[in-house]
Structure 1
C-alpha cells in the first residue's frame, strides 16, 4: 500500500523535504501532498548568503547544523540539477575597518577551516582588493575572503525543488489548512488522514499545533529587503557577496541585479505591508556602499515573516506524544542555510521512521513544545 505523507508549509524546509521524499530509496512507494497558501513565506522573500563559518554565535549546536547545511548545498544543487541563478559559490567577503578586528576575523576563519573543507580558500583583502572583486562598491573597507561562500535565491530554490518533486510523487495544493484534535488535516475537500505529517509552517506553527493541545515557543518577525538595478559588469557575474561591517548584506546576482537587506522587525510580526521608512533605510545602507546610487534604481521590495524561538535556535523532529507528526520551526534569519539539512533529515524520518538522535544539532523538542493542559 502506498504511504501518504502531507507537508504543511512549502518554504525551504518543506520544499527540501518534498524533494528528498521524491528521491530517497523507497520514494516510489510514497505519495506526497504539500499544502501552502503562499502568504508571507520567508523563504520565497529571501535572498541569502550561505557562509556560516565566521558567525560569532556561541550556540555550537546551531553552528554544526549551519555548517552541515552549507556542506549539503553543492550536493543538493548538483543532484537536483539547479542552475547558477539559484545558487552559486561566488565567495563571501566580511569587512572590518579596524586592522586588529580584521586579524581576529582571519584567525577565526583559519580555525574554522580546519574542519570545514567547504569554506575553500581564506585570505585577507585590502580595500583595493575588495573593490577589484566587487567593482559595484564605492565605499570600501578591507575584509576576509572565503571562496566557498555562496549566494542563493530563496524563491528560485523553493520553486525548482518543488518542480523536481512534482515530476515524481508530489502534489502541491495552494490552500490554507488546519489540524483536528485527532490529527487529521482539514483541507478544502474535507478532513484527510495521512500516515505522516511534516509541519514546516514557520511562524504559523503555533496556530497549527493548538488543536493538538501543543503550545509552541515561536514568535513572528517581519523581514524586508530591496532589489536594485545597478551597472552590469559582464565579466563580473561571479562577484562575491559582501557582509559589510555596520551595513546590510550586499548580494550581487549579476546581470545588473543587486539585493540589499534584510531587516529584523520584531514589531512587524505577520504584517506584510511594505514600509517606506524601512525601504529608505535599506536604500541608505546601499548608498553608503555605492555613493552614486539613487532611488530610481529601486526595482522591488520583498517582505516575509520569519519564525524565532526564545533562544533563537531552530528545532525540528518527531512531535512528542503524536507519532504521526514531525515539526520544524525557529529557523530565523539563517533559514536558507539550515533549512535544507533540516528538510533532508525530516524526509528520512518520515519515510523510514525510527527515533533519530539529532542532539548534535538541537536541544530536546520539549524545550520548545509543551502541552496546553499544563
Structure 2
C-alpha cells in the first residue's frame, strides 16, 4: 500500500512525528520537518495514545502482540498454494520462494513486549500442523513480532475529533487492518476533506 501511495504522489517522511494543534490542526512535525495541514489523519496503530495525548486527545487503544513464524520448504514450489484460514484465529500464507508464513498469536495484556516466546511458537506451530502436518518437514527461518491496535470493543475507532478541528482518528482494526483498512482509509479521507462519509459513524466514535 505504501508503494501504491508513492506512485500516486504521496511523500513519505520517516522520523518521530508530533501533531501541531492549538484547538485546530496546524500540521505535523517529523523531527525537524514541519508539514502544514488543515487536516491530519491519525492512524498510528498501537502507538496512537502516545501521539494523541500531547494534544489532549485520549483514545482507548492497547497493543495486542502477535507472533508470526516464517518457514521454508526447500525444493517445494509454494507459489500457487492457497491461503488457508482454519476455523481458529490462525492462518497459513505461502509465497513463491518456498516460504510459508504461519500465524498468529493474539496476546492481550502483555504491553509492548518484543520477546519471542516458546508458548507463542508452540501455539502457532500446533495450529499449523493440525491442518497441514506436512509442514513438520519445514525449516524454521524466523519468528517476527507485531502489535495490533485493539480498542474497547470489536468496532474500529473512526471519526473526527470535535475538540481539535481537522483531526481524524482511525484505529482499533486489530487483526483486520489489511482487509478492512483500505475501506476505512477511504472514509477517513472523505472526513479529512469534509465530505459526507456515506455511513453513520456514531457507533465508531473514536473517543468512546
The two structures share one fold, judged by TM-score above 0.5: yes
Per-residue deviation at 1:260? 0.9
Matches within 5 A, 1:101-116: none
Give 5+ residue unaligned stretches, structure 2: none
Paired residues for 1:273-352 under 5 Å: 273-294=115-136, 297-350=139-192, 352=193
Instruction: Provide closer, same or farther for how the CA distance between residues 186 and 279 of structure 1 changes in structure 2, counting only shifts above 3 A.
Output: same
Paired with 1:259 and 1:304, the residues of 2 have a C-alpha distance of 14
Match of 2:197 among 353, 356, 369: 356
Displacement, 1:212? 2.5
Structure with the greater alpha carbon radius of gyration: 1
1:242 to 84, 99, 104: 84
Structure-1 separation of matches of 2:89 and 2:159: 35
- Contact 1:314–1:362, Cα closer than 8 Å, also in 2: no
- Residue 173 to residue 273, structure 1, CA distance change in 2 (3 Å): farther
Residue in 2 that maps onto 1:179:
19
Q: Partners of 1:297 and 1:268 in 2: how far apart? A: 28
From the superposition, tell whether residues 253 and 190 of structure 1 become closer, same or farther in structure 2 (CA, over 3 Å): closer
Single out whichever of 311-320 and 324-333 deviates more from structure 2: 311-320
Q: CA shift at 1:332, angstroms?
A: 0.6
Aligned partner of residue 165 in structure 2, secondary structure = coil
Instruction: Say which SS state the counterpart of residue 162 (structure 2) adopts.
Output: coil
Q: Is the 8 A contact 2:69 2:102 kept in 1?
A: yes
Structure having the larger proportion of residues in helix: 1
What SS does structure 1 have at the residue aligned with 2:133?
Answer: coil
Q: Distance in 1 between matches of 2:137 and 2:52?
A: 43
Q: What does the per-residue CA deviation read over 1:262-281, in whole Å, with 9 as the maximum and x for residues that have no partner?
A: 11011333222322331233
The partner residue of 2:65 within 222, 238, 241 is 222
**Can you list the C-alpha shifts for 1:89-127, whole angstroms capped at 9, x where unaligned?**
xxxxxxxxxxxxxxxxxxxxxxxxxxxxxxxxxxxxxxx
**RMSD of the alignment, in Å?**
2.6
Number of corresponding residues:
205
Distance 1:163 1:232 in 2: 35
Return closer, same or farther for 1:199/1:224 CA change in 2, 3 Å cut-off. same
1:193/1:229 CA distance change after superposition, 3 Å: same
Unaligned segments of structure 1, at least 5 residues: 1-157
Match of 1:369 in 2: 207
Task: Report 1 or 2 for greater relative contact order, CA contacts < 8 Å, sequence distance ≥ 6.
Answer: 1
Superposition TM-score, scaled by structure 1 size = 0.49
1:364 deviates by: 4.6
